Structure 1
């Protein structure tokens, strides 16, 4: 699957937004960078769909601009003026050339969903590879109103169960290499053992310590 990080060059605060080009060219999150439409057009003239992990401003501020430019279907868990399809836990969506399971993963946000296929994970903010708190295996912040560390821990556990070769700390692997590509809402793109990254993030979250010193 051909995936482009289309907010990588942003000079303002935004989430990572990813464009998966393929049979169903799909944008995962719209970000908050006003240059995103122009950046998308350097890769494609058509966007078939936008899927939203959650509706914090850094993930959806440019959603209406993207819709105005490309008229895509819009998939989201919670209502939004541009939404054309409601997402629910257990649904499947096509992103690029792959079929992804929708996993409801609240804690960082009540409407948070993640998307997992046989090879890739779009984790939004529930799990990230690296951020300002941890260099390998982290989790979304839960210190603001409406957020819950306990619920996020449950979501990470559920996400691990729903990944191929599911279950925490799976020791026996089948012939499948499992999920090898992680595209999270912040931090860097990761290629490798994604299960280990998510398990490490869960271990960090389970310490119940403040993620940032000012929490």
Structure 2
């Protein structure tokens, strides 16, 4: 056992980059998957709606930790060992896709029906209606909850420590195992998560306030 030092603090702080890298990968991948799911959930095809709904129910109805285990250990059992970063990125991307898909589906359906009817009357195809009429309006509604979900995603990356990926939480575990000072070590980790998430939480609140103000005008 040794004392917590500035070297340990730097080691923990340097792990922030892996938390951010994992968050960005999961968010970008989740945004792409979420858009596909949102469009499928609002499509005319019953089959597409059913498939999208099934995917969302599975990934919203099961713990993220279990999804990480299934991707990392499940592929290893099948003879396909996978890097912890890749496993965490895949699991978090699927998780983010399900939640962003529902957020954006709600935003699309929040656009007044008359907008879609007017676009249809102008003989716009479904892709053109979405691209030029519906999605630009839905983006305004979806921005605040999307930023709010990003905060949850950043905190969710801490579960990647379970499969051995050295992000912020895992770095704290490594230092704590050497120093046996959990209050100091994990207090530092919590403070760094707060520094990462608090500005985004404030941004989401301001966006929500602006949206409510715009609606009441």
TM over 0.5: no
Going by fraction, where is helix more abundant, 1 or 2? 2
Structure with more contact order per residue of length (Cα contacts < 8 Å, sep ≥ 6):
2
TM-score with structure 2 length normalisation?
A: 0.28
